Structure 1
Amino acid sequence: MATEEAAGGLAFHPMDQFLVRPLFGGTEIHWYTPTNVTLWMGLTVLAIVLVLVVGSRGRAIVPSRMQSVAELTFGMVHKMLEDITGKEGLKYFPYVMTLFCFIVFANFIGLIPKSFSTTSHIAVTAVLAMLVFLGVTILGFVKNGAHFLGLFWVSSAPLPLRPVLAVIEVISYFVRPVSHSIRLAGNIMAGHAVIKVFAGFAAIAAIAPVSILAITAMYGLEVLVALIQAYVFTILTCVYLKDALHPGH
């Protein structure tokens, strides 16, 4: 596989795994076309329902494995949200919990061989980031009115610097959805591409053992990345929510 084709290119293509393809043949993709992205996003939602709803419906005193996972996830996100935003932010827990579960399940499902990693696509992560950005901005103005603009005015800085800092704060605020989405998609895509490169060289007998060890190490790292990136995306959402609820802090 790791040899050059007659045309001069490599026989394996690490980025092919990220191609969006229609589920039922053809090449044209419209907004209503079911694709592999649609399929794996649907499987992600199904997995969340199975673990968090079906797996914990018994509410046993001695929990099963699935109930334990559901309870640990619930407790972690609940504590994260309360620690960052305070009691006032807990009313938004269902959204934050849904966001975390979707990302972490999509990341882990994307590690299954022959699966499709939906969070490696900026189209998916950008929608998640824009929903957070718009929701937080609207909430900030609804809760605080014009006082929400105080988020951009650094009152502790010397007066001559405040206009300059205000411009910087406004720019950094509108860059939030860009960094929020690219961080997640970039990390997931990079890890999967590296694993595919190592897998391509595994067919060469001379370096196959080294390649297999590298794949194992990268896969273990990607398991951590899958959880950490979901955690980072969620904790940043909590920070942005705190800014909307308490812009003067």
Structure 2
Amino acid sequence: MTKKSARQMHVFKVVSRVKVDGERRYPYRVLGVPLEADLYTLAAGIVRAFDFDFDHAFGFFDGRDPYRSGVKYELFHDADMQDELGGSDAPSETQVAISLLLEVADQRAIMRDTAEFLARRLREELLPNVPDRLRAGAEAELGRVAYEMLDLDADLELGDVPPDLREALAQPGGLERLISLYGAMTGADDAAAPTERGVKGVSVTEPFGRTPTWTFLFDYGDDWMFDVTYQGVQDAPPRVRLPRVLDSLGTAPEQYPEWEE
């Protein structure tokens, strides 16, 4: 009888750059992922191996400083995120900047202020022609008309930009970074721009053909960073679901620590 060949997996060692107080070594996890896995699957496996919630954007970078890396694989570059930034019509940098800034603006407050300005302008223009006996009512009515003209009874569309994008935008230099990111996705950057790709559908081993160790950044702003090293193909444990933690050392840092006041 021919022996059935063992199922195989890619193996990665992931070391956190954050060490828990009282522990001598930085925590690590050895992770097995399916041979057909993409970078999105690897990212999800890493995040869950350290007991984090998979609730933020992320990327893989060829340098220790993600913001200076020459080669990047980021969730921001995938088609669904690109659509959120304006699709393939390639608006100008100014249009992109305004669109992004509007996502974090208090649009309803701006519209209320605009309505008050419009009401004041209408009163200045029209009230001099209103008989004195009607002025009080006309003044109040013009305020209502201004709100109706701006359709403030309707819900304002705040868009479907992912929370991660809003969070990245709120960081120092976030607007400039996201404008540059959009340019890279639309081909607007020059030949000297970093090589940037998405993570979905990208083979889990593609980056590691360049260099065996990459920086994995999770949650822009909090900047959780991990060193990810490819260790090759091994036989997978029988009857286990991949991704799977094969070995571990140390306590994972808390994703959302309770800060003492």
Q: Same fold (TM over 0.5)?
A: no
| Higher CA-based Rg | 2
Q: More strand by proportion, 1 or 2? A: 2
- Asked which structure has the greater RCO (Cα within 8 Å, sep 6+), the reply is 2
Q: Report the TM range for the smaller structure's normalisation.
A: under 0.3
Q: TM-score if structure 1 supplies the norm length? A: 0.27
Q: TM-score if structure 2 supplies the norm length? A: 0.26
